[in-house]
Structure 1
Amino acid sequence: MTDITITTASGQQLCLRAEVADSFFKRFLGLMGRPDLPKGTGMVIYPCSSIHMMFMRFPIDAVFFDKKNHIVKIARHLKPWTGFSIAYGAYGVLELTAGTLDDIDLSVDACWLSLDGIHLA
């Protein structure tokens, strides 16, 4: 697990803990088949520029970021089995329980991620 902080242009912060999926097998499995994702936690998947919701049991929010940890796309409330998202120029994605991003003023290019202990370059 690693600490993640999302900071908005207005200085608002969202802090949480996340699993890291940085190997082929971990990226392949992702959150598939899990019953849920505890509130305040997530999963960072990299390298990754697209996700699908096949074999998922719960909806998620997804925050795609580039190698400089700038947010390039936000996908909210992706539904199990039917959702998918592609983010051109993304290097990774942070997957969160759906609704996690509802109370934070998050927008593309106006926010960035701090990924403690993860070196993307």
Structure 2
Amino acid sequence: MRRVEVTVGRQRFTQVGLAERWYQRLRGYMFRRVPAPYGGIIITPSNGVHMLFVAFPLQVLLFDRERKLIHQKQCRHFYSTAWHPKAALVLELPLTDATPLSFTLGDKLSWQ
């Protein structure tokens, strides 16, 4: 999985994985015990995610085709889901008490 630097609004994240292939999108964070520090995963194309077999909480951000934030959800349990019918890509960020994450609907996503 290719690593990119991601900016959402005013927040920057390094070492974010870009899941573009079907098997990368399928796996996501499943079966991992801990996430990479300051990491995350962009899943594209995708309009939602599930938390089955994910061992830690996630902040899930859903973006439309113009890469504007249209929905966000904190997923803390294995039975959680996050989706939106107009979403085109998803950013999964590990959620910890040490790094509270705050985003505003309409924030733009970019990566390099």
| TM-score category of the 2 structures, normalised to the smaller one | 0.7 to 0.9
Residue from 60, 80, 95 that aligns with 2:58: 60
Match of 1:79 in 2: 76
Shift of 1:107: 1.8
C-alpha offsets along residues 18-77 of structure 1, whole Å, 9 cap, x if unaligned?
10111111101111000111331100001000110001111100111112110111112x
Percent of aligned positions with the same letter in both sequences? 21
Residue from 24, 27, 42 that aligns with 1:26: 24
TM-score, L = length of structure 1: 0.82
- Alignment RMSD (CA, Å): 1.6
| CA–CA separation in structure 2 for the residues paired with 1:20 and 1:103 | 20
Tell me which amino acid in the other structure corresponds to 1:22: E
Structure 1 unaligned residues grouped into runs of 5+: 8-12, 117-121
Tell me which amino acid in the other structure corresponds to 1:16: F
Indicate if the aligned counterparts of 1:61 and 1:101 stay in contact, CA closer than 8 A: no
Indicate if the aligned counterparts of 1:48 and 1:90 stay in contact, CA closer than 8 A: yes
| Corresponding position: 1:47 with 2:45 | yes
Indicate if the aligned counterparts of 1:65 and 1:92 stay in contact, CA closer than 8 A: yes
What secondary structure does 1:27 align onto? Answer: helix
Match of 1:91 in 2: 88
Indicate if the aligned counterparts of 1:43 and 1:95 stay in contact, CA closer than 8 A: yes
Shift of 1:101: 7.1
TM-score, L = length of structure 2: 0.88
What secondary structure does 2:73 align onto? Answer: strand
